[in-house]
Amino acid sequence: MVSFLMKHLRLLKEDKIALVATGTTGSHAEEAGLKVSRVLSGPRGGDAQIAAMVANGEIGMVFFFRDPLGMHPHEPDIAMLMRICDVHNIPLATNPATARLLIRAIN
């Protein structure tokens, strides 16, 4: 994720884009120089917090890169986040290729 963010740093630093990230990802993004609103880490409820923000209309696009070959202890939260994005018709990128297409749409 951080590698993707670094490749799109110029666009993501613009004031019109507000970034929200789970704990660890958010700290890495901040270290890269981005302004980020951080929520809890994913396993501690951060995925659910972001899903709630989507449901409340506070987030218009979600990038959630996941390892399709690995199991996550918070897999039900990840599935819930993806379902909430679908319910609320929010673009969701789960890999860098899709995220690049979404970035082009806002650029």
The catalytic residue positions are 47
Geometric angle at alpha carbon 59, from 67 and 98, rounded to 5°: 40
Query: Number of C-alpha atoms within 13 angstroms, CB side, residue 40?
Result: 12
- The packing angle between helices 46-55 and 75-87, to 10°, is 10
